[in-house]
Amino acid sequence: MSEALCRLADVPPDGTALAGGLFAVRAGDAVAVYVNACPHLGVALDGPPGRFLSADGRIVCALHGAEFRRADGVCLRGPCRGERLTAVAFSVRDGLVIKQQKQGRLF
Ligand code: FES
């Protein structure tokens, strides 16, 4: 079973789209989808809802300022340096970003 998270067009070139407890972010020509939870304490990353990016374009945690690379969610700076955001498997179909559900051991 799969679930549409947002329209691909809703993810701006240098921005994000909030979809429930997940968010989609552009990383160059690609898109990544992550769980909206900081690996440091598990809180939501965004302060104002839907605001995830620092001025230099990294994903930033509003609580303690950890910074994450968009393409792979690795923390580059902050208290959880070296950890990473939880990536969500997805596909893009008919202009929709669609979350893939786990089935058994396969996505
Ligand atoms: S809760 Fe995100 S850096 Fe501490």
pLDDT digits (tens, 9 = 90+) for 46-85: 988 889 999 999 999 999 999 999 999 999 999 999 999 9
Residue 59 lies in a domain: yes
Ligand 1 midpoint to CA 60 (Å):
9
Report the number of distinct structural domains present in the chain. 1
Residue 15 lies in a domain: yes
Tokens, residue 41: 């304490």
- Is the CB of residue 30 less than 8 Å from the CB of residue 71? yes
Residue with tokens 């959880």: 80
- Domain residue limits at 36: 2-100
Residue 5 Cβ inside 6 Å of ligand 1? The answer reads no
pTM for this prediction:
0.91
Buried b (16+ CB within 10 A) or exposed e, 73-100: bebeebebeeeebeebebeeeeebbbbe
- Is the CB of residue 97 less than 8 Å from the CB of residue 105? no
Residue 80 lies in a domain: yes
Residue 75 Cβ inside 6 Å of ligand 1? The answer reads no
Ligand 1 midpoint to CA 96 (Å):
30
The CATH code of the domain that includes 90 is 2.102.10.10
Give the pLDDT confidence score for residue 27 in this predicted structure.
85
Q: Whose CA is nearest to atom 4 of ligand 1?
A: 64
Buried b (16+ CB within 10 A) or exposed e, 33-48: bbbbbbbbeeebbbee
Query: Phi then psi for 22, rounded to 5 degrees?
Result: -120, 165
Share of the chain above pLDDT 90, in %: 72
- Mutate which of 54, 59, 64 for ligand 1? The one with the most ligand atoms within 8 Å of its CB, which is 64
Tokens, residue 76: 């580059």
Residue 40 Cβ inside 6 Å of ligand 1? The answer reads yes
